[in-house]
Structure 1
Amino acid sequence: MTDSSINTRLTVSREALLQDGSDAAFRQMLHNLLAFSARLQQVRGQFAAYIGLSGPQYTILITVRQLQGEDGIGANAVATHLSHSPAFVTAETNKMVRLGVLDKRPNPEDGRRVLLTVTAKGEELLNSLAPLQQEINDQLFDPVTAENFDILRGLARDLNLSAEKAVLLSDYLLRSEDEA
């Protein structure tokens, strides 16, 4: 039995995502995105291990470096940026403070909160990774050209935003099905 002979229902209904009334191309694209995501996670894990961190810790470290500005960045802002729970980010940042890669100090505007910054040790670790990271990222994104880079950036941003809404919708719809 071939894939085309299986009687399956469409997984999307938007015309832009169908070809000749079929969602096969959409499903193949989704498979490719999932495989790419898995490889991104794998590379992230390798980057993290190279500098002695877990994958999530590495992501937190580069996020703090990107967003810290002059004064530092709050743990809640990091959690929001990464779509993680504040409790998870707090637990991981506490480990990273003990490792000496992040500094945590009270927020002068709100003593109940903290500001995170990357330490000199954290910067040194990231700088040691940069040459390898550059070569690996260049290979990872080899198909991206100057002409399609802005399109890819916009699509990635827009897909992330629509994914947030889809998670909320799936929570609602699937919970409603369970309760019915």
Structure 2
Amino acid sequence: MLSHLVAKQDSPEPASSITESWQAAHGEPQEAEGGRASSALSTSLKSLLKGGSDKDFRRLIYNLLSLSNVMVRNREHFAAYIGVTNQQYVIMTILYETPGATVSHIANQIHVSSQFITLETGKLIKKGLVDKRPHELDRRSVSLTLTERGQTLLREVWPLRRRTNDLTFQSLTKEQAAILDQIIGSLVMGAQMALHELEAPHRSGRRAPSIERKPKSGLADPSQ
């Protein structure tokens, strides 16, 4: 069961901001429990540290990345099966679930720019898979819908998608699936907050100090 992941706990101390963490990296490192410098830890949240070590947390991150990479590769197979790109396939599935969706709705759904969605839907329109028409309530926007051909292609890939998802999530009970959904939702919100801070104007163009330093060759200068 995953219930222990959402069990009531004492509220962890708030994490330092990314800016504060960056500044701390240029000061004297503090020793964490277990003797490892705290500046080398990948998190400062006590709830994610075990005996002062972030080893278990890093394993969690690697597992999440592995799962994400495999799921993207699976989706690439779905997309190739119906002759579109990965992102175009995602757009088509959203339009199947939400007929008449706008460009901004799709962009918000998958966290990309409206310009990107406009470009990709333009390609789908040329392929005869998506149709557009003026939005009924906002004439500055357009409603996007799948054509009959687009719907047919998605219906043809559904059995492949269903089999893949059955194999991927077969170990979860109904209760575990609900808890996982809650956890992933919270992680997505936190990740968006972190990305917003990483992309803040005051961080624009900032790089690690050592990048500008010339590496030592280890050889004596013959002119000296």
Q: TM-score, normalised by structure 2?
A: 0.72
Match of 2:84 among 31, 36, 53: 53
Structure 1 residue 167: Cα displacement: 0.3
CA RMSD of aligned residues (A): 2.3
In structure 2, the partner of 1:149 is: 177
Distance 1:6 1:174, change over 3 A: farther
Give the drift of 1:19: 1.3
Q: Percent identity?
A: 34
- How much does 1:64 deviate? 1.5
Contact 2:132 2:144 in 1 (8 A): yes
User: Tell me, what secondary structure is at the counterpart of 1:110?
Assistant: coil
Equivalent in 134, 142, 145 of residue 162 of structure 2? 134
* CA-CA distance at 1:174 after TM superposition: 7.9
- Of residues 42, 66, 72, the one that matches 2:97 is 66
What is the deviation of 1:62?
Answer: 0.5
- CA displacement at 1:99 relative to structure 2: 1.0
Deviation at 1:110, TM superposition (A): 2.2
**Quick one: which of 126, 140, 143 aligns to 1:98?**
126
Work out whether residues 78 and 161 of structure 2, in 8 Å CA contact, stay in contact via their aligned partners in 1.
yes
Which structure has greater strand proportion? 1
Change over 3 Å in CA distance of 1:135–1:22 after alignment to 2:
same
Which residue in 1 is equivalent to 2:62? 31
Which of 167, 170, 173 in structure 1 is aligned with 2:198?
A: 170
Give CA-to-partner distance per residue, 1:41-94, whole Å, 9 cap, x none: 1011110000110000001111122222xxx11111111111110010001001
Give the AA of the match of 1:51: I
SS in 1 for 2:132: strand
More helix by share: 1
Alignment-derived partner of residue 13 in structure 1: 44
Give the TM-score normalised by structure 1.
Answer: 0.89
Greater radius of gyration (CA) = 2
Partner of 2:8: none
Distance 2:116 2:87 in 1: 10
Alignment deviations for residues 131-170 of structure 1 (CA, whole Å, 9 cap, x no partner): 1111111111122221201001111111111111010122
User: What's the CA shift for 1:129?
Assistant: 0.7
